[in-house]
Structure 1
């Protein structure tokens, strides 16, 4: 076996066993979570801080030396941000993995590796799906050239790791990825959502409370892509209407929204000809790659005075927040070294204060510097 293939195989095996060993090394236990928990609590008298990790793209070009090296770099970005910001919660904002490059049967190996920086620090998190997370395997054209298909050695993904198995190239479904995350991590607040929204999976709501009252509701949506069209469906819109009426009938509690692919409304507010209007950000270097269709979610959000902001990933060359109607539309910041673009990596940070309520945001870069501060609750 060529030396670089030995390196790749070992990196995959190490990634697969991380979920147990990293926690033992950090002094944590790894009990399975048996009951879903949808209630987060603020620590008395302190703001609640959230780090958004977008477009990590673990597993990209997994058969090369470059791929595992980029995954290690992505871990470094997350570690740097978490050490600097010390957030209370993390949101994995889609494209956690590049499934269309992953050869092994169980892509949860890579998904789990991406969760490691939060887990070893005891920071709870939630996740939503992006368009790459369950995309079908794309056979590289160079494999069909004179050089041929490389000698691939894929590790077994069962608990024993006792031997190799052939690459399956079949992919891992959204539901399989989500169930694996939930069942194997007590710190995960992710949910697999109502079954009647299938094939959309990551649809759920979390509640952040103080000791006295609810501070904010956070809604998470699956914006599609990969195995089905890039869209928030009419069924998801109806689910949001019903759920928000159930938990926040008079819109008295602020609400914030997370999904991966920007809605078409982002195109309407995107700065043009370098005129930024009232937008706040540092990179405005590509056009918005929006969902394929608009099925009503933005109209519903516009009509709810409690909705303060929507946060998305997907566009690696955008990190702005722009006002839209009575709310804000925001991009995160490209966090991972996988995926396209050579812009510096970082993460969007949210800070929630109570009494009075405020929602602030900024970008924290891998090198530690902070920029693009904005108040989103004005």
Structure 2
């Protein structure tokens, strides 16, 4: 009888998500406010001055939260971000996916960890934007050690960093992309993240930001495109719908390809495998670590063909592979990895962040990597 009661308890917890998933997502969609395009222009400080962006990739906050190791890694990740922000003093920060490790977070609202990850940027009054990675809304994975005893494991909910007050709050239903984005935007006016077009959902973080001169806000200096490369709750892929959205949006706002464009998503496209250096890093590639094979998206649905054919696209920036930090040329653009910023996730390579600097007069796009010890390496010019 006791075993049946325990099994029933677990079934109620696990089935709660499957029963109400569609009603839950629908309620999120209805609640989402409209964010006008005009509210999302970024301004260069002035003619001749630069606009600096810091990329924070693969932070993996909340990983192994029920252990002593996990929370310590989050503290270390906060230190890395603080070091980069204090050295570089960027104008903007981009969270390049895998902000959290949702598979490991046994609480109702994973946004609590997302909030922690953003806190060094928010505390300094720096605006930011984010894209989703494959771990951000992945389903909770029951830890093997919970099954070491006989029978069905008890529901466990960590007290630290948690709002859980009872069994229902610890149902591990996961926090979906829409809710994570909704909570981030509601958190602060400093967030420039977007929900993206509804016709592309469940792919959420698809949007574009305009960088303009403060002397002439209506005149774009660069466009920053953000795309959701999937993973977690759906396949790791950029869809043909996203490619078509980019094509239409680019023709609308940059019809003559006059304004340079930079692209940001999390999981490398298959073109990265073609461009990858072999046995170290040699010119024209620039970087310091090439310690694993490129792990790519599941399919290629046309986005790379579009980007490679647009002369205005200067570079694509991704995360996902913690042991890669190179930039390599691919046709007429650059394919770049960020540097693994977080202490969560695999790998023991030193942490850091890729920096991008846009200068208007004379125009240039440069990049380098700032390390957790304050050093700088891998400087290169992406566009003269």
In the TM superposition, what are the counterparts of 1:202-241 in structure 2 within 5 Å? Answer: 202-210=205-213, 211-212=215-216, 213-241=219-247
Q: Contact 1:156–1:162 at 8 Å: present in 2 too?
A: no
Aligned ranges for residues 109-188 of structure 1 at < 5 Å? 109-146=112-149, 149=153, 152-155=156-159, 163=165, 166-188=169-191
Partner of 1:3: none
Could you state the TM-score of these two structures normalised by the residue count of structure 2? Answer: 0.86
Given the alignment of the two structures, is residue 339 of structure 1 paired with residue 345 of structure 2, yes or no?
A: yes
Deviation (angstroms), 1:155: 4.7
Paired position in structure 2 for 1:38: 40
1 CA distance for matches of 2:315 and 2:360?
17
CA distance in 1, matches of 2:178, 2:160: 21
Structure 1's 176 and 156: CA in aligned 2 closer, same or farther, altered over 3 A?
farther
Structure 2 residue 86 is the aligned partner of structure 1 residue 83: yes
Structure 2 gap segments, 5+ residues each: 1-32
Question: CA-atom RMSD, angstroms?
Answer: 1.9
**In structure 1, C-alpha distance between the alignment counterparts of 2:139 and 2:269, rounded to whole Å:** 23
Deviation of 1:144 after TM superposition, in Å, equals 1.1
Residues 299 and 35 of structure 1, relative CA distance in 2, 3 Å threshold = closer
Q: Mind listing any 5+ residue stretches in structure 1 that lack a counterpart?
A: 1-32
Deviation, structure 1 residue 357: 1.5
Residue of structure 2 equivalent to 1:28:
none
Equivalent pair of 2:106/2:157 in contact (CA under 8 Å) = no
Question: Deviations along 1:162-212, whole A, 9 cap, x unmatched?
Answer: 955552111000000001101121100000000000110000000000023
- On the 8 A contact 1:104/1:168 being kept in 2, the answer is yes
Give deviations 1:206-255, integer Å, cap 9, x for gaps.
00000232110000000000000000000000000000011000000000
Partners of 2:75 and 2:280 in 1: how far apart?
35
Cα distance in 2 for partners of 1:319, 1:144 equals 38
Q: Is the 8 A contact 2:157 2:164 kept in 1?
A: no
| Match of residue 30 from structure 2 | none
SS in 2 for 1:62: coil
2:61 aligns with: 58
Residue pair 1:52, 1:91 contacting (<8 A) in 2 also: yes
Task: Give the secondary structure class of the aligned counterpart of 2:170.
Answer: coil
CA distance in 2, matches of 1:90, 1:370: 18
Task: Report whether the alignment pairs 1:279 with 2:269.
Answer: no
Q: C-alpha separation between the residues in 1 aligned to 2:189 and 2:210?
A: 17
Within the candidate set 76, 101, 104, 1:101 is matched to 104
CA distance in 2, matches of 1:257, 1:40: 16
Question: In the alignment, what sits opposite 1:368?
Answer: 374
With the length of structure 1 as denominator, give the TM-score of the two structures: 0.87
Contact 1:55 1:336 in 2 (8 A): yes
3-state secondary structure, aligned to 1:368: coil
SS at match of 1:96: coil
How many residue pairs match? The answer is 344
Give the superposition deviation at 1:278: 1.0
Q: Describe the shift of the 1:268–1:164 C-alpha distance in structure 2 as closer, same or farther (beyond 3 A).
A: same
- Aligned with residue 300 of structure 1, among 295, 303, 306: 306
SS at match of 2:247: helix
Q: For residue 152 of structure 1, report the CA deviation from its aligned partner.
A: 3.1
Residues 299-328 of structure 1, C-alpha deviations (whole Å, 9 max, x = no match): 000110000000000000000000010000
1:246-325 equivalence runs, <5 A = 246-274=252-280, 276-325=282-331
Aligned mates of 2:287, 2:338 — CA distance in 1:
10
Per-residue deviation, 1:274: 2.9
